[in-house]
Amino acid sequence: MSQGKLTIAGREFNSRLMVGTGKYASNDQMVAALEASGAEIITVAVRRVNLAEMGKGCMLDFIDPKKYTLLPNTAACFTAEDAIRTCRLAREAGLSDMVKLEVLGDEKTLFPDNEELLKAAKVLVGEGFTVLPYCSDDVILCKKLEQLGCAAVMPLAAPIGSGLGIRNPYNIKIIMEAVKIPVIVDAGVGTASDAAIAMELGCDAILMNTAIAGAKDPVAMARAMRLGVEAGRLAYEAGRIPKKLYATASSPLTDLIGS
Amino acid sequence: MTIIVNGEARQMADGITVRQLLDELQIPPTRVAVEVNLEIIPKSAYAERALQDADKIEIVHFVGGG
C-alpha cells in the first residue's frame, strides 16, 4: 500500500495518525496502544516533577525516543504568557523545537482563545519554534496562523474529548483550500469512521487521545484508528465517485436474455 | 538556606548548585527542565549555577497528555 508521506516543517512521516499519551490505565497499555496505532508523532504534557514519587521513574522511561517524535503540548494554559513559558521549558526538557500550541479560553468547552493563540504563536515562531497550533475551525484564523509562520494548523472537529466526530466538514474543507501548510484535525474524534471521514476530506493528518485511551480496549481501538486513517487517506487519494440522486446500473444493460 | 522547589519549601546547604539539587532529589538531569525565578537554566549550566536563599525553582518533565 503506497500512500504519500506527511511533511511537517521539512520532516517526513509515514503515519498520518498522531496520538496522545494521556489517560491510559498503565504505561504498558500506553506503549501497546502507541505501537498498534503506528503513530510516529506522540503528544506529551509538561508538568512539575512529583518530588515524592521520583523513584518510580517517568513516562519517558517507557518510550523509545528513536521511534517516536515527541510533541509537547501546552494543555491547561489559558494565557499566551503561560503557553510560551511552557514551550520554552519543553524545548529545554526535550531538546526539540516542535510544540503543539494550545491556549484555552474556557474550561467547559476547552475551545481555544484565538487572540492569545495568535500572540503566543508570533512570539514562539520568532524564537525558532516549529509551532503546531490547536485552533478553531475558522479559515481566517488559520490563514493568520499560516502568515505568522506556523508549521501546520490543527483545527478542532468537535470539543476535546467529546467523541462527537467531524462536526464541521465544510469548514475543514474551506481551511484546506485556503492554507498551504498541513491541516491536522485535532480533537473530537470518537471512532474509526470519524478518522476515515477526516482523512477522506483530504486532511493531512489527525491527532487524537481520548478516543483511543478511553475506549474499552485501547489497543484494539488504536489499531482501528490506524486502519481508519489509512482507509480514509487511500480513498481520498483514489478519488471517490460523485454523489448522484439516481441509480446507475453496474451490470451491462445490453445482451439481455431474450423473452 | 530555604528554597522553594515546585511550590514546597526545602532546606538546602548554602550555595548548592542546580546539579547538586537534582542529585539530592534523585532526579536525572537529562529529562527535565529547570527554571530558577522564571529563568530557564540550560542543562550545560546546571553544574555552575548556584542557588540562593528564597529562590523559586520549578523542575518539570513530560507526562502523558493529548
Residues of chain B by 3-state class (helix, strand, coil), percent to 5: 20, 40, 40
* Residue A21: closest C-alpha in chain B: B64
d(CA A160, CA A231): 24
d(CA A50, CA A53): 6
Interface confidence, given as ipTM, is 0.95
d(CA A123, CA A85): 11
Q: A34-84 pLDDT, tens per residue?
A: 999 999 999 999 999 998 877 666 888 899 888 999 999 999 999 999 999
**A1 pLDDT above the threshold of 70:** no
- CATH number for position B30: 3.10.20.30
Q: A148-164 pLDDT, tens per residue?
A: 999 999 999 999 999 99
d(CA A18, CA A199): 13
Q: What value does the mean pLDDT take over residues B31-45?
A: 96
Look at residue A65 in the predicted model and tell me its pLDDT: 84
The answer to whether residue B40 is domain-embedded is yes
Q: Does A24 touch chain B (CB under 8 A)?
A: yes
B/e letters for A130-159, b = 16+ CB within 10 Å, e = fewer, are: bbbbbbbbbbebbebbbebbbbbbbbbbbe
pTM of the shown model: 0.93
Q: Which of A43, A85, A92 sits opposite B66 (nearest CB)?
A: A43
Query: Which of A211, A203, A119, A200 lies closest to A159, judged by CA?
Result: A211
Query: Which of A131, A136, A93, A132 lies closest to A113, judged by CA?
Result: A136
3-state SS of chain A?
A: CCCCCEEECCEEECCCEEEECCCCCCHHHHHHHHHHHCCCEEEEEEEECCHHHHHHCCHHHHCCCCCCEEEEECCCCCCHHHHHHHHHHHHHHHCCCEEEECCECCCCCCCECHHHHHHHHHHHHHCCCEEEEEECCCHHHHHHHHHHCCCCEEECCCCCCCCCCCCCHHHHHHHHHHCCCCEEEECCCCCHHHHHHHHHCCCCEEEECHHHHCCCCHHHHHHHHHHHHHHHHHHHHHCCCCCCCCCCCCCCCCCCCCC
**A2 pLDDT above the threshold of 60:** no
Look at residue A4 in the predicted model and tell me its pLDDT: 82
Is A89 close to B25, i.e. CB distance below 8 A? Answer: no
Look at residue A12 in the predicted model and tell me its pLDDT: 96
* Residue B8: closest C-alpha in chain A: A51
Q: Which of A60-69, A83-92, A99-108, B12-21 has the lowest mean pLDDT?
A: A60-69
The answer to whether residue B38 is domain-embedded is yes
Strand A98-101 with A6-8, pairing? unpaired
Partners of residue B6 in chain A, C-beta under 8 Å: 48-49, 51
Q: What value does the mean pLDDT take over residues A227-245?
A: 97
B/e letters for A42-72, b = 16+ CB within 10 Å, e = fewer, are: bbbbbbebeeeebeeebbbeebeeeebbbbb
Is A51 close to B32, i.e. CB distance below 8 A? Answer: no
The answer to whether residue B61 is domain-embedded is no
B/e letters for B2-12, b = 16+ CB within 10 Å, e = fewer, are: ebebbeeeeeb
The answer to whether residue B62 is domain-embedded is no
The answer to whether residue B59 is domain-embedded is no
Query: Which of B54, B49, B62 lies closest to B21, judged by CA?
Result: B49
The answer to whether residue B58 is domain-embedded is no
Specify the number of domains making up chain B.
1
The answer to whether residue B60 is domain-embedded is no
At A95, is the pLDDT very low, low, confident or very high (cuts 50, 70, 90)? confident
Is A54 close to B25, i.e. CB distance below 8 A? Answer: yes
The answer to whether residue B34 is domain-embedded is yes
Average pLDDT score, chain A: 95
Q: Using an 8 Å Cβ cutoff, are A215 and A192 in contact?
A: no
Is A23 close to B66, i.e. CB distance below 8 A? Answer: yes
Instruction: Give me the domain span that covers residue B35.
Output: 2-53
Look at residue A55 in the predicted model and tell me its pLDDT: 65
The burial of A106, by beta-carbon neighbours within 10 Å (0-12 exposed, 13-18 middle, 19 or more buried), is given as: exposed
